[in-house]
Structure 1
């Protein structure tokens, strides 16, 4: 995770960041024999965006793990708006698009993410692959069903990832295929579509379904852990010299 991933539900880092915004983080640091090796996970993040403070705490207890706000509500969404690293959006969700090849106007009920051929495409959320095969104009195509009546579709793929076929269960972020231009396409891109109860919805503006909050069983653990890390952050900022000698941060 990076800062943009953690707060993606609340903040679009490409459009929402304002002059004067600020952030604070506590991140793991790994050392070997006293020598710094690499950074690890972000354990706490705070960003003040347009005057509004957003906080995220990493919490890992039992089967619960992820980023949560100060009230214990999950930051992780059950689906993502863009299941790949893309260059730009080449076509938006619309009911009246001039097709670049057919030169006729018809609905385009998804978002086209232009990316280099071979760019990995991941599952937008946990689910079951209902279809993986060649499907006419959409080319190599994957359809995944998700809890809550959601369905995602991935078109024009160059190829499928190893082991991907209908009937396979996948986890959010798992690579399912690679960007291509199969079917009716002018260049490499992912045609990404989302339906809710069989009705197409715009991936860019849909309300992202969130995952569970912290269960009552672990609420006290979360309260203690979040208070501890807030105290550490306050102490560090009260004495900025502490940052120079910080070698280890608290683990939940």
Structure 2
């Protein structure tokens, strides 16, 4: 078997930048029909659709990751266009970092609402179609921070740790229907989110056995594995893609 997604339909939340965009592009190059959500940049989303082969192969959906209504509408748009949803990648997320003593309730709640409750909304929307198909793969994007914790990121760490328990519960609920649910936990990846690290990046590299920050394509490759038929006996697993940081 190969990482071939031909004839599969995949929805990626937060798909226009960084890790999300790498996943969208990798899935499309593997043959999938790909839908992705985005929050604000219509121009970027339109350009991405065209680069993936146009509206026959790709669909851009403007959505708020924290909105239940938008989650339902996103899944419905996918099934209306292609008749099914084979893969769901829950990638959309935000950070509002700060030491907890200075963190206000809004900074806490907005991160939880987007990163964790948003995952609940979109997975719930995909739950019934995948059950009816008796097939499907859900991949949530957690973080090494959700495994190890990190000073100044109590809200983010809580949301990403919550995704792990949430996804394992989905795996137990849906396994009997042939639907799998797994987690990818990235380490420090070179994206817009880590671009501001500056000299601190060198210190991080010293903590990583492989000695480098990861690339978005490293995460996309792991997600493709979990979406593909190569991983049909893998569910409830947390796949660390972190250069050995959290071993």
TM-score category of the 2 structures, normalised to the smaller one: under 0.3
- TM-score normalised by structure 1 residue count: 0.24
Bigger fraction of residues in helix: 2
- Larger Cα-atom Rg: 1
Considering Cα pairs closer than 8 Å and 6+ residues apart, tell me whether 1 or 2 has the greater RCO.
2
- TM-score normalised by structure 2 residue count: 0.24
